[in-house]
Amino acid sequence: MSRKYFGTDGIRGRVGEHPITADFVLKLGWALGRVLGRRTPHPKVLIGKDTRISGYMFESALEAGLSAAGADIGLLGPMPTPAIAYLTRTFKAQAGVVISASHNPFDDNGIKFFSGAGQKLDDALELEIEAELDVEMDTVAPDQLGKAFRIADAPGRYIEFCKSTIPSHVDLSTWKIVVDCAHGATYQIAPAVLEELGARVIPLGNQPNGLNINDRCGSTNPEALRSRVQEVGADIGIALDGDGDRVVMVDADGTLVDGDELLYIIALDQHRSGRLHGGVVGTKMTNLGLEIALSELDIPFVRSEVGDRHVNAELLRLGWQLGGESSGHILCLGATTTGDGVVSALQVLAALAATGRPSLRDMLGAMNKYPQVTINVALGAQVDRTAICALDRVCSATRDAERRLGSKGRVLLRPSGTEPVLRVMVEGEDVDLVAAVAQSLADSVRAAVV
């Protein structure tokens, strides 16, 4: 069955436009409560949110819907997405709900769920919830209504958890660190974690007002971080996104280090210390330079479909623990169950500390990112984006592009899941050749669909 509402990361959209409305979210909470109630009498569900102003409205709507279905509700307040996954596990709740649109602007919002094990919900459970949304809503008997309670010590619990993911001897007392919290869910957590580990912290993006989340800051807009790191003479900079599940970092000279490069640093550290279980999972968009650098260390590498959900599924299938995306969504399953920006940043800091505290750039050593060009080819709304890739003319152009790049290059045609575009991605050693091949292939795609 195809999903009607759920995308690759929950349900997301513009606030006030279906389905991101108060009445829909009310029923979504009720549907979740109904599904969970079939498995566990009087289930417990935790709700957390980022700092968007609409979070107040959707938190109340979810609480009412869950209560009407007979579920008890633990309210966490503003907390990072991975914190909700962790607390759902430790409180033995049946599910966790996150109100967030991640790196999107404030006028978007979304709902995503975690299972009692702190994992994204499986497809079957999401489809069961969707089926309940087509049923007329009712209310359990008054004596069976769910109760709500606030978990006041949630931030402290999560801060201690983050600190526990690196060796206790790691001391950051000589480090000056700028941390950009994107005016989002980590605004209290990230500075506290680093300060308690001894660092001198210069916070950035830590004054949320409900409207400024991800606004010219955070992991998707790291320019302010780069400037601040150089201005204050910091050793390193950390940029998180609005819900705290992504991270990118900045070296002392302002050099940006993305998710692929951070993944390499963590893999290298775990490989050297014998803690790397199996290999590393990336995605079809992961830079070829990471794959080559890992192969030189004899570390296996596998690509999944794009999205942390797919990376996680592949890690579980293989029994491995480390994977991620260039966006900074890194999964360290040896430490936690989902992508966690704060935890991932700590793994990088611990790796630097273990090797005498070199710069990020020095740690990258053998990894050289290949030039990569992506061109979005606009299509009509009714065009089948997947079928285009199978057209003879497009297949022929793709083969020609691969021939021109040779063994040190790569081509990927990827239909967008949210927009009427086909993404043409080309990477290789020669930046001019990569740009020319990408443009030629994009032109061929456009000509094929005229």
Q: For the residues of 367-417, what is the DSSP string, one character each?
A: --PPPEEEEEEE--TTS-HHHHTTSHHHHHHHHHHHHHHGGGEEEEEEE-S
Coil vs helix vs strand at 56: helix
| Of 408, 350, 411, 417, residue with least CA distance to 385 | 417
Coil vs helix vs strand at 140: coil
Coil vs helix vs strand at 428: strand
The two most distant CA atoms of the chain are separated, in Å, by: 71
Buried b (16+ CB within 10 A) or exposed e, 349-376: bbbbbeeebeebeebbeebebbbbbebe
Q: Where are the alpha helices (H) located in 302-368, listed in sequence order?
A: 308-318, 341-354, 360-364
Spot the catalytic one: 102, 115, 326, 327.
Answer: 102
Q: Is 54 a catalytic residue?
A: no
Residue 390 CB coordination number (10 Å): 10
307 Rama class: left (phi>0) / alpha (psi -120 to 50) / beta: left
| Of 112, 109, 111, residue with least CA distance to 54 | 109
Secondary element (H or E) of residue 67: helix 54-68
**Active site residue ranges:** 102
